[in-house]
């Protein structure tokens, strides 16, 4: 199982990994997976309502496709991990990533408050 969450709730858990543009400075233990991060421009445009959620999703998926991410390998490395970003909202790129992993056959769900922690390192973590 791969989980999703956000830094404010899940950042201090040892199985948290960052999929945002950067990991907060107050969470130095959190590994970073930059290949799953949107661009800063996309985040800015979405936050300022310059682009719609649909436009954001289209741009983000195109960005991920351009990165040639080996989804299956990454999905196996992320088992038991919490994919975290800053947004607490319902609409966030982590939900798009979750859907893409589901489409590849992986089980993904938003973290509940009662998740056991698992430590693991792989080649995608910085």
Instruction: Quick: pLDDT tens for 29-48.
Output: 999 999 999 999 999 999 99
Q: What does the block give as tokens for 26?
A: 């107050």
96 in Cβ contact with 69 (< 8 Å): no
Burial call 18-46: b when 16+ CB within 10 Å, e when fewer: bbbeebeeeeeebbbbeebbbeeebbebb
Across the 126 residues of the chain, what is the mean pLDDT of every consecutive 10-residue run?
Answer: 95 96 96 97 95 97 97 97 91 94 96 55 52
Question: What is the model's pTM?
Answer: 0.86
Axis crossing angle, helix 53-66 with helix 93-103, rounded to the nearest 10: 60
Which strand (E) or helix (H) includes residue 58?
helix 53-66
Percent of the chain with pLDDT over 90: 82
* pLDDT of amino acid 5: 95
């Amino acid at each position: 199982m791969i989980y999703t969450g956000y830094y404010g709730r899940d950042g201090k858990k040892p199985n948290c990994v960052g999929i945002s543009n950067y990991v907060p400075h107050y969470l130095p233990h959190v590994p970073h997976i930059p290949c799953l991060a949107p661009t800063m421009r996309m985040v800015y445009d979405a936050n300022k309502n310059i682009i719609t959620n649909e436009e954001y999703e289209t741009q983000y998926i195109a960005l991920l496709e351009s990165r040639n991410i080996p989804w299956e390998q990454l999905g196996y490395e992320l088992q038991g991990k919490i994919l975290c970003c800053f947004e607490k909202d319902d609409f966030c790129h982590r939900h798009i990533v979750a859907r893409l992993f589901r489409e590849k056959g992986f089980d993904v769900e938003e973290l509940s408050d009662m998740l056991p922690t698992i430590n693991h390192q792989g080649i995608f973590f910085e």
